[in-house]
Structure 1
Amino acid sequence: MMKKKHSRGQRGLIEADLVHASLLEVERNGLEGFGLRCAARAIGCDVATLSYRFGSKEGLERAIADRLHEEVSPPELQVKWQARLQAMAKSYRQVAKRYPNAFPLLLRFWTTGPRDLQIAEAWHQALYDAGLREADIPAVGCATYAAVLGVCAGETGGLLDKPSAEVIKEVEEQTDLPLTKELMPTFATLGEDDVFEAAINILISGIEAQVHANPAPFANHA
Protein backbone atom coordinates (compact mmCIF):
# COMPACT_ATOMS: atom_id res chain seq x y z
CA MET A 1 0.00 0.00 0.00
CA MET A 2 1.28 3.44 -0.86
CA LYS A 3 2.47 5.40 2.16
CA LYS A 4 0.57 8.59 2.77
CA LYS A 5 2.62 11.74 3.08
CA HIS A 6 2.35 13.46 6.42
CA SER A 7 2.31 17.23 6.00
CA ARG A 8 2.44 19.51 8.98
CA GLY A 9 0.06 22.41 9.32
CA GLN A 10 -0.02 25.25 11.84
CA ARG A 11 1.37 24.49 15.28
CA GLY A 12 3.12 21.41 13.88
CA LEU A 13 -0.07 19.37 13.67
CA ILE A 14 0.10 16.51 11.18
CA GLU A 15 -2.65 16.64 8.57
CA ALA A 16 -3.23 12.87 8.63
CA ASP A 17 -3.80 13.05 12.39
CA LEU A 18 -6.30 15.88 11.97
CA VAL A 19 -8.21 13.85 9.40
CA HIS A 20 -8.23 10.73 11.56
CA ALA A 21 -9.40 12.66 14.61
CA SER A 22 -12.16 14.25 12.52
CA LEU A 23 -13.18 10.80 11.27
CA LEU A 24 -13.50 9.58 14.85
CA GLU A 25 -15.63 12.63 15.69
CA VAL A 26 -18.00 11.81 12.80
CA GLU A 27 -18.28 8.24 14.08
CA ARG A 28 -19.08 9.45 17.59
CA ASN A 29 -21.69 12.04 16.70
CA GLY A 30 -22.63 11.57 13.03
CA LEU A 31 -22.51 13.92 10.06
CA GLU A 32 -25.47 16.02 11.12
CA GLY A 33 -24.07 19.17 12.67
CA PHE A 34 -20.48 18.23 11.81
CA GLY A 35 -18.26 21.12 10.80
CA LEU A 36 -14.90 22.76 11.35
CA ARG A 37 -15.92 24.14 14.74
CA CYS A 38 -17.03 20.87 16.30
CA ALA A 39 -14.07 19.05 14.71
CA ALA A 40 -11.66 21.59 16.17
CA ARG A 41 -13.30 21.26 19.57
CA ALA A 42 -12.99 17.47 19.49
CA ILE A 43 -9.38 17.59 18.30
CA GLY A 44 -8.31 20.32 20.68
CA CYS A 45 -7.12 22.82 18.07
CA ASP A 46 -8.49 26.10 16.77
CA VAL A 47 -10.81 26.45 13.80
CA ALA A 48 -8.18 28.47 11.94
CA THR A 49 -5.88 25.44 11.84
CA LEU A 50 -8.50 23.29 10.12
CA SER A 51 -9.48 26.13 7.81
CA TYR A 52 -5.81 26.62 6.90
CA ARG A 53 -5.32 22.94 6.08
CA PHE A 54 -8.67 22.05 4.45
CA GLY A 55 -10.22 25.36 3.41
CA SER A 56 -13.78 24.53 4.41
CA LYS A 57 -16.07 21.92 5.95
CA GLU A 58 -16.40 20.34 2.50
CA GLY A 59 -12.62 20.16 2.18
CA LEU A 60 -12.34 18.39 5.53
CA GLU A 61 -15.17 15.98 4.66
CA ARG A 62 -13.47 15.20 1.35
CA ALA A 63 -10.23 14.47 3.20
CA ILE A 64 -12.11 12.16 5.60
CA ALA A 65 -13.64 10.32 2.64
CA ASP A 66 -10.22 9.88 1.05
CA ARG A 67 -8.98 8.53 4.39
CA LEU A 68 -11.67 5.85 4.14
CA HIS A 69 -10.34 4.91 0.71
CA GLU A 70 -6.99 4.05 2.29
CA GLU A 71 -8.67 0.91 3.64
CA VAL A 72 -9.59 -0.30 0.14
CA SER A 73 -6.65 -2.01 -1.58
CA PRO A 74 -6.61 -2.40 -5.38
CA PRO A 75 -6.28 -6.13 -6.18
CA GLU A 76 -3.47 -7.62 -8.22
CA LEU A 77 -3.91 -7.42 -11.99
CA GLN A 78 -3.18 -11.13 -12.36
CA VAL A 79 -6.52 -11.90 -10.70
CA LYS A 80 -9.56 -12.33 -12.95
CA TRP A 81 -11.59 -9.16 -13.41
CA GLN A 82 -14.65 -10.64 -11.70
CA ALA A 83 -12.62 -11.46 -8.58
CA ARG A 84 -11.08 -7.98 -8.61
CA LEU A 85 -14.49 -6.28 -8.56
CA GLN A 86 -15.70 -8.67 -5.86
CA ALA A 87 -12.64 -7.96 -3.72
CA MET A 88 -13.05 -4.19 -3.97
CA ALA A 89 -16.78 -4.44 -3.27
CA LYS A 90 -16.09 -6.53 -0.16
CA SER A 91 -13.50 -3.99 1.00
CA TYR A 92 -16.06 -1.20 0.73
CA ARG A 93 -18.50 -3.31 2.69
CA GLN A 94 -15.96 -3.68 5.51
CA VAL A 95 -15.34 0.07 5.48
CA ALA A 96 -19.07 0.69 5.73
CA LYS A 97 -19.35 -1.61 8.74
CA ARG A 98 -16.31 -0.06 10.41
CA TYR A 99 -17.32 3.57 9.77
CA PRO A 100 -21.10 3.61 9.23
CA ASN A 101 -21.51 7.31 10.05
CA ALA A 102 -18.72 8.52 7.76
CA PHE A 103 -19.37 6.09 4.90
CA PRO A 104 -22.05 8.27 3.23
CA LEU A 105 -19.29 10.78 2.46
CA LEU A 106 -18.09 8.39 -0.25
CA LEU A 107 -21.37 9.01 -2.10
CA ARG A 108 -20.98 12.80 -1.97
CA PHE A 109 -17.97 13.56 -4.18
CA TRP A 110 -17.02 12.75 -7.78
CA THR A 111 -13.63 11.91 -6.36
CA THR A 112 -12.22 12.34 -2.87
CA GLY A 113 -8.57 12.57 -3.87
CA PRO A 114 -5.51 10.53 -4.89
CA ARG A 115 -6.44 7.31 -3.14
CA ASP A 116 -9.94 7.32 -4.59
CA LEU A 117 -8.50 7.82 -8.07
CA GLN A 118 -6.25 4.80 -7.60
CA ILE A 119 -9.28 2.66 -6.76
CA ALA A 120 -11.16 4.10 -9.73
CA GLU A 121 -8.25 3.20 -11.99
CA ALA A 122 -8.34 -0.39 -10.74
CA TRP A 123 -12.13 -0.47 -11.21
CA HIS A 124 -11.87 0.83 -14.77
CA GLN A 125 -9.07 -1.61 -15.55
CA ALA A 126 -11.25 -4.51 -14.40
CA LEU A 127 -14.03 -3.34 -16.74
CA TYR A 128 -11.54 -2.95 -19.59
CA ASP A 129 -10.22 -6.45 -18.97
CA ALA A 130 -13.81 -7.73 -18.96
CA GLY A 131 -14.00 -6.71 -22.61
CA LEU A 132 -16.01 -3.49 -22.40
CA ARG A 133 -15.53 -0.85 -25.06
CA GLU A 134 -13.64 2.16 -23.74
CA ALA A 135 -16.63 4.36 -24.62
CA ASP A 136 -18.82 2.26 -22.29
CA ILE A 137 -16.47 2.15 -19.30
CA PRO A 138 -17.36 5.57 -17.78
CA ALA A 139 -21.11 4.86 -17.62
CA VAL A 140 -20.73 1.24 -16.49
CA GLY A 141 -18.02 2.23 -14.03
CA CYS A 142 -20.14 4.93 -12.39
CA ALA A 143 -23.22 2.71 -12.35
CA THR A 144 -21.53 -0.33 -10.80
CA TYR A 145 -19.52 1.72 -8.30
CA ALA A 146 -22.62 3.61 -7.17
CA ALA A 147 -24.54 0.33 -6.88
CA VAL A 148 -21.88 -1.21 -4.63
CA LEU A 149 -21.72 1.86 -2.38
CA GLY A 150 -25.52 1.94 -2.26
CA VAL A 151 -25.77 -1.69 -1.13
CA CYS A 152 -23.13 -1.08 1.53
CA ALA A 153 -24.83 2.09 2.76
CA GLY A 154 -28.21 0.34 2.74
CA GLU A 155 -26.86 -2.48 4.88
CA THR A 156 -25.34 -0.22 7.54
CA GLY A 157 -28.20 2.27 7.37
CA GLY A 158 -30.93 -0.27 8.08
CA LEU A 159 -32.47 -0.65 4.61
CA LEU A 160 -31.53 -4.33 4.48
CA ASP A 161 -32.64 -5.18 8.01
CA LYS A 162 -35.16 -7.97 8.47
CA PRO A 163 -38.78 -6.69 8.52
CA SER A 164 -40.03 -5.88 12.00
CA ALA A 165 -43.22 -7.27 13.50
CA GLU A 166 -44.87 -3.92 12.79
CA VAL A 167 -43.91 -4.07 9.12
CA ILE A 168 -45.10 -7.66 8.79
CA LYS A 169 -48.43 -6.68 10.33
CA GLU A 170 -48.71 -3.72 7.94
CA VAL A 171 -48.17 -6.02 4.94
CA GLU A 172 -50.68 -8.55 6.22
CA GLU A 173 -53.33 -5.88 6.65
CA GLN A 174 -53.19 -4.83 2.98
CA THR A 175 -55.29 -6.72 0.45
CA ASP A 176 -53.39 -5.85 -2.75
CA LEU A 177 -50.00 -7.42 -1.94
CA PRO A 178 -50.44 -11.14 -2.67
CA LEU A 179 -46.91 -11.80 -3.89
CA THR A 180 -45.26 -9.72 -1.18
CA LYS A 181 -47.22 -11.64 1.46
CA GLU A 182 -46.06 -14.92 -0.05
CA LEU A 183 -42.44 -13.71 0.05
CA MET A 184 -42.49 -12.39 3.62
CA PRO A 185 -41.21 -15.63 5.24
CA THR A 186 -38.16 -15.43 2.97
CA PHE A 187 -37.64 -11.74 3.74
CA ALA A 188 -37.78 -12.60 7.45
CA THR A 189 -34.88 -15.05 7.15
CA LEU A 190 -32.84 -13.22 4.51
CA GLY A 191 -29.22 -12.73 5.52
CA GLU A 192 -27.03 -9.71 4.82
CA ASP A 193 -24.54 -11.88 2.96
CA ASP A 194 -27.31 -13.19 0.71
CA VAL A 195 -28.27 -9.69 -0.40
CA PHE A 196 -24.70 -8.54 -0.90
CA GLU A 197 -23.69 -11.60 -2.91
CA ALA A 198 -26.84 -11.30 -5.04
CA ALA A 199 -26.04 -7.67 -5.80
CA ILE A 200 -22.45 -8.39 -6.83
CA ASN A 201 -23.45 -11.40 -8.95
CA ILE A 202 -26.07 -9.31 -10.75
CA LEU A 203 -23.52 -6.56 -11.42
CA ILE A 204 -21.03 -9.03 -12.86
CA SER A 205 -23.70 -10.73 -14.97
CA GLY A 206 -24.79 -7.33 -16.24
CA ILE A 207 -21.23 -6.45 -17.24
CA GLU A 208 -20.87 -9.77 -19.05
CA ALA A 209 -24.16 -9.15 -20.87
CA GLN A 210 -23.00 -5.66 -21.88
CA VAL A 211 -19.77 -7.09 -23.25
CA HIS A 212 -21.69 -9.74 -25.18
CA ALA A 213 -24.01 -7.12 -26.70
CA ASN A 214 -21.30 -4.53 -27.44
CA PRO A 215 -17.85 -6.17 -27.40
CA ALA A 216 -14.67 -4.18 -27.71
CA PRO A 217 -13.33 -4.10 -31.30
CA PHE A 218 -10.18 -5.89 -30.16
CA ALA A 219 -9.41 -8.54 -27.56
CA ASN A 220 -8.72 -6.93 -24.20
CA HIS A 221 -9.90 -9.73 -21.92
CA ALA A 222 -7.67 -10.52 -18.95
Structure 2
Amino acid sequence: MKTRHTRGQRGLVGADLVHAALLEIERAGLEGFSLRCAARAIGCDVATLSYRFGSKEGLERAVADSLQAEVEAPERRLPWQDRFIALAMAYRAISKRYPNAFALLLRFWTTGPSDLQVAEEWHQMLYDAGLPEEDIPALGFATYAAILGVCSGEIGGLLRKPTTDELENIERQPDLPLTRKLLPIFANLRDEEVFDAAITNIVSGIEAQAAKKRPSKTPS
Protein backbone atom coordinates (compact mmCIF):
# COMPACT_ATOMS: atom_id res chain seq x y z
CA MET A 1 0.00 0.00 0.00
CA LYS A 2 1.48 3.30 -1.06
CA THR A 3 1.47 6.37 1.14
CA ARG A 4 -0.03 9.39 -0.56
CA HIS A 5 2.38 12.34 -0.57
CA THR A 6 0.48 15.61 -0.20
CA ARG A 7 1.99 19.03 0.33
CA GLY A 8 0.85 21.22 3.18
CA GLN A 9 1.79 24.71 4.28
CA ARG A 10 5.24 25.91 3.20
CA GLY A 11 5.55 23.05 0.73
CA LEU A 12 6.26 20.43 3.37
CA VAL A 13 5.29 16.92 2.30
CA GLY A 14 2.56 15.49 4.54
CA ALA A 15 4.05 12.01 4.56
CA ASP A 16 7.40 13.42 5.71
CA LEU A 17 5.69 15.23 8.58
CA VAL A 18 3.90 12.04 9.59
CA HIS A 19 7.10 10.02 9.48
CA ALA A 20 8.94 12.60 11.56
CA ALA A 21 6.11 12.55 14.12
CA LEU A 22 6.31 8.75 14.19
CA LEU A 23 10.02 8.91 14.92
CA GLU A 24 9.38 11.42 17.72
CA ILE A 25 6.78 9.11 19.28
CA GLU A 26 9.25 6.24 19.15
CA ARG A 27 11.93 8.43 20.71
CA ALA A 28 9.91 9.95 23.54
CA GLY A 29 6.72 7.87 23.77
CA LEU A 30 3.05 8.80 23.45
CA GLU A 31 2.81 10.26 26.91
CA GLY A 32 3.25 13.98 26.62
CA PHE A 33 3.26 13.89 22.80
CA SER A 34 1.83 17.12 21.41
CA LEU A 35 1.84 19.26 18.29
CA ARG A 36 4.36 21.51 19.96
CA CYS A 37 6.91 18.76 20.69
CA ALA A 38 6.26 17.25 17.27
CA ALA A 39 6.90 20.62 15.59
CA ARG A 40 10.09 21.07 17.60
CA ALA A 41 11.35 17.61 16.60
CA ILE A 42 10.36 18.08 12.96
CA GLY A 43 11.79 21.58 12.70
CA CYS A 44 8.60 23.39 11.70
CA ASP A 45 6.11 25.56 13.54
CA VAL A 46 2.93 24.39 15.27
CA ALA A 47 0.82 26.32 12.76
CA THR A 48 2.12 24.11 9.96
CA LEU A 49 1.00 20.96 11.75
CA SER A 50 -2.34 22.50 12.72
CA TYR A 51 -2.90 23.54 9.11
CA ARG A 52 -2.10 20.07 7.80
CA PHE A 53 -3.66 17.81 10.49
CA GLY A 54 -6.06 20.05 12.41
CA SER A 55 -5.14 18.81 15.87
CA LYS A 56 -2.92 16.47 17.87
CA GLU A 57 -5.54 13.75 17.34
CA GLY A 58 -5.44 14.38 13.61
CA LEU A 59 -1.67 13.94 13.58
CA GLU A 60 -1.86 10.79 15.71
CA ARG A 61 -4.53 9.40 13.40
CA ALA A 62 -2.26 10.08 10.42
CA VAL A 63 0.64 8.34 12.18
CA ALA A 64 -1.58 5.33 12.89
CA ASP A 65 -2.68 5.21 9.26
CA SER A 66 0.96 5.25 8.17
CA LEU A 67 1.45 2.09 10.25
CA GLN A 68 -1.56 0.52 8.57
CA ALA A 69 0.03 1.36 5.22
CA GLU A 70 2.87 -1.04 6.09
CA VAL A 71 0.45 -3.99 6.14
CA GLU A 72 0.71 -5.73 2.78
CA ALA A 73 -2.50 -7.31 1.62
CA PRO A 74 -1.99 -11.06 1.06
CA GLU A 75 -2.98 -12.49 -2.30
CA ARG A 76 -6.65 -13.40 -2.36
CA ARG A 77 -5.96 -16.64 -4.19
CA LEU A 78 -4.45 -17.96 -0.94
CA PRO A 79 -6.63 -19.88 1.54
CA TRP A 80 -8.24 -17.52 4.03
CA GLN A 81 -6.34 -19.18 6.88
CA ASP A 82 -3.01 -18.28 5.26
CA ARG A 83 -4.19 -14.73 4.69
CA PHE A 84 -5.18 -14.40 8.35
CA ILE A 85 -1.78 -15.63 9.48
CA ALA A 86 -0.04 -13.21 7.09
CA LEU A 87 -2.03 -10.24 8.41
CA ALA A 88 -1.43 -11.26 12.02
CA MET A 89 2.30 -11.59 11.42
CA ALA A 90 2.36 -8.20 9.70
CA TYR A 91 0.91 -6.54 12.81
CA ARG A 92 3.36 -8.39 15.02
CA ALA A 93 6.25 -7.06 12.91
CA ILE A 94 4.86 -3.51 13.12
CA SER A 95 4.51 -3.78 16.91
CA LYS A 96 8.17 -4.73 17.24
CA ARG A 97 9.28 -2.00 14.87
CA TYR A 98 7.18 0.76 16.46
CA PRO A 99 6.37 -0.33 20.03
CA ASN A 100 5.44 3.17 21.22
CA ALA A 101 3.24 4.19 18.29
CA PHE A 102 1.59 0.76 18.03
CA ALA A 103 -0.89 1.71 20.77
CA LEU A 104 -2.44 4.22 18.34
CA LEU A 105 -3.91 1.32 16.36
CA LEU A 106 -6.09 0.53 19.38
CA ARG A 107 -7.33 4.11 19.77
CA PHE A 108 -9.38 4.91 16.67
CA TRP A 109 -12.39 3.31 14.99
CA THR A 110 -10.62 4.01 11.73
CA THR A 111 -7.48 5.97 10.93
CA GLY A 112 -7.89 6.63 7.21
CA PRO A 113 -7.55 5.11 3.74
CA SER A 114 -4.85 2.57 4.59
CA ASP A 115 -6.79 1.32 7.60
CA LEU A 116 -9.95 0.94 5.53
CA GLN A 117 -8.08 -1.03 2.89
CA VAL A 118 -6.78 -3.45 5.52
CA ALA A 119 -10.30 -3.71 6.96
CA GLU A 120 -11.59 -4.63 3.51
CA GLU A 121 -9.05 -7.44 3.31
CA TRP A 122 -9.96 -8.58 6.82
CA HIS A 123 -13.68 -8.62 6.02
CA GLN A 124 -13.09 -10.43 2.74
CA MET A 125 -11.06 -13.05 4.58
CA LEU A 126 -13.94 -13.71 6.98
CA TYR A 127 -16.43 -13.78 4.11
CA ASP A 128 -14.28 -16.33 2.30
CA ALA A 129 -14.17 -18.38 5.51
CA GLY A 130 -17.91 -18.84 5.14
CA LEU A 131 -19.25 -16.29 7.65
CA PRO A 132 -22.57 -14.66 6.78
CA GLU A 133 -22.37 -10.93 6.21
CA GLU A 134 -24.29 -10.08 9.39
CA ASP A 135 -21.60 -11.80 11.51
CA ILE A 136 -18.59 -10.18 9.87
CA PRO A 137 -18.53 -6.76 11.64
CA ALA A 138 -18.56 -8.22 15.16
CA LEU A 139 -16.12 -11.03 14.39
CA GLY A 140 -13.93 -8.65 12.42
CA PHE A 141 -13.57 -6.36 15.43
CA ALA A 142 -13.10 -9.30 17.80
CA THR A 143 -10.36 -11.02 15.83
CA TYR A 144 -8.56 -7.78 14.99
CA ALA A 145 -8.60 -6.69 18.63
CA ALA A 146 -7.38 -10.13 19.71
CA ILE A 147 -4.35 -9.95 17.42
CA LEU A 148 -3.50 -6.38 18.44
CA GLY A 149 -3.92 -7.39 22.07
CA VAL A 150 -1.45 -10.26 21.81
CA CYS A 151 1.01 -7.96 20.03
CA SER A 152 0.59 -5.31 22.73
CA GLY A 153 1.09 -7.91 25.45
CA GLU A 154 4.31 -9.03 23.86
CA ILE A 155 5.88 -5.59 23.44
CA GLY A 156 4.51 -4.44 26.80
CA GLY A 157 6.14 -7.23 28.77
CA LEU A 158 3.13 -9.43 29.57
CA LEU A 159 4.58 -12.37 27.63
CA ARG A 160 8.09 -12.10 29.03
CA LYS A 161 9.58 -14.96 31.01
CA PRO A 162 8.75 -14.84 34.75
CA THR A 163 11.54 -13.74 37.05
CA THR A 164 13.04 -15.98 39.70
CA ASP A 165 11.25 -13.98 42.39
CA GLU A 166 7.90 -14.38 40.63
CA LEU A 167 8.39 -18.13 40.27
CA GLU A 168 9.40 -18.48 43.91
CA ASN A 169 6.39 -16.43 45.01
CA ILE A 170 4.05 -18.81 43.19
CA GLU A 171 5.84 -21.81 44.64
CA ARG A 172 5.05 -20.48 48.11
CA GLN A 173 1.32 -20.30 47.40
CA PRO A 174 -0.32 -23.51 48.64
CA ASP A 175 -3.69 -22.83 46.95
CA LEU A 176 -2.30 -22.84 43.36
CA PRO A 177 -1.64 -26.55 42.72
CA LEU A 178 -2.15 -26.53 38.94
CA THR A 179 -0.32 -23.25 38.38
CA ARG A 180 2.62 -24.55 40.44
CA LYS A 181 2.63 -27.72 38.36
CA LEU A 182 2.81 -25.62 35.18
CA LEU A 183 5.70 -23.44 36.38
CA PRO A 184 8.43 -25.31 34.42
CA ILE A 185 6.42 -24.69 31.23
CA PHE A 186 5.93 -21.00 32.04
CA ALA A 187 9.64 -20.66 32.75
CA ASN A 188 10.52 -21.86 29.25
CA LEU A 189 7.60 -20.42 27.31
CA ARG A 190 8.58 -18.41 24.24
CA ASP A 191 6.70 -15.42 22.80
CA GLU A 192 6.35 -17.26 19.48
CA GLU A 193 4.50 -20.11 21.17
CA VAL A 194 1.96 -17.74 22.68
CA PHE A 195 1.44 -15.91 19.39
CA ASP A 196 1.09 -19.17 17.45
CA ALA A 197 -1.40 -20.45 20.03
CA ALA A 198 -3.46 -17.28 19.66
CA ILE A 199 -3.53 -17.53 15.86
CA THR A 200 -4.34 -21.25 15.91
CA ASN A 201 -7.23 -20.80 18.31
CA ILE A 202 -8.65 -17.77 16.51
CA VAL A 203 -8.56 -19.63 13.19
CA SER A 204 -10.20 -22.66 14.80
CA GLY A 205 -12.88 -20.42 16.29
CA ILE A 206 -13.62 -18.83 12.90
CA GLU A 207 -13.83 -22.27 11.30
CA ALA A 208 -16.19 -23.51 14.02
CA GLN A 209 -18.46 -20.47 13.75
CA ALA A 210 -18.55 -20.72 9.96
CA ALA A 211 -19.42 -24.43 10.20
CA LYS A 212 -22.36 -23.65 12.51
CA LYS A 213 -23.67 -21.07 10.05
CA ARG A 214 -23.59 -23.35 7.01
CA PRO A 215 -27.01 -24.58 5.98
CA SER A 216 -27.41 -28.28 6.75
CA LYS A 217 -27.78 -30.58 3.79
CA THR A 218 -31.19 -32.13 3.43
CA PRO A 219 -31.11 -35.85 2.63
CA SER A 220 -32.11 -36.63 -0.92
TM-score bracket, normalised by the shorter chain, equals over 0.9
- In the alignment, is the contact (CA less than 8 A) between 1:7 and 1:16 conserved in 2? yes
Q: CA deviation at 1:190?
A: 0.5
Give the distance between the partners of 1:163 and 1:216, measured in 2 at CA: 47
The equivalences for 1:1-222 within 5 A come to 1=1, 3-215=2-214
Q: CA deviation at 1:214?
A: 1.6
Q: CA deviation at 1:137?
A: 0.5
Give a deviation string over 1:167-193, Cα, whole Å, max 9, x none. Answer: 112211211111111111101101111
Give a deviation string over 1:50-98, Cα, whole Å, max 9, x none. Answer: 1111111111100000000111011111000000000000000000000
Unaligned runs of 5+ in 2: none
Q: CA deviation at 1:150?
A: 0.4
Give the distance between the partners of 1:77 and 1:66, measured in 2 at CA: 22
Give the distance between the partners of 2:98 and 2:90, measured in 1 at CA: 12
Identity of aligned residues (%): 67
Say if 1:193 and 1:60 are closer, same or farther in 2 by CA, change over 3 A. same
- In the alignment, is the contact (CA less than 8 A) between 1:133 and 1:216 conserved in 2? no
Unaligned runs of 5+ in 1: 218-222
Say if 1:207 and 1:216 are closer, same or farther in 2 by CA, change over 3 A. farther
- Which amino acid in structure 1 is aligned with residue 78 of structure 2? V
- In the alignment, is the contact (CA less than 8 A) between 2:3 and 2:66 conserved in 1? no
- In the alignment, is the contact (CA less than 8 A) between 1:92 and 1:149 conserved in 2? yes
Which secondary structure does the structure 1 equivalent of 2:127 belong to?
Answer: helix
- Which amino acid in structure 1 is aligned with residue 92 of structure 2? R
Matched pairs, number? 216
- Which amino acid in structure 2 is aligned with residue 201 of structure 1? T
- Which amino acid in structure 2 is aligned with residue 9 of structure 1? G
TM-score norm. by structure 1 comes to: 0.95
Give a deviation string over 1:183-204, Cα, whole Å, max 9, x none. Answer: 1110110111100010000000
RMSD: 1.1
> Which stretches of structure 1, 4 residues or longer, exceed 3 Å deviation after superposition?
none
- In the alignment, is the contact (CA less than 8 A) between 1:6 and 1:14 conserved in 2? yes
- Which amino acid in structure 1 is aligned with residue 212 of structure 2? A
- Which amino acid in structure 2 is aligned with residue 86 of structure 1? I
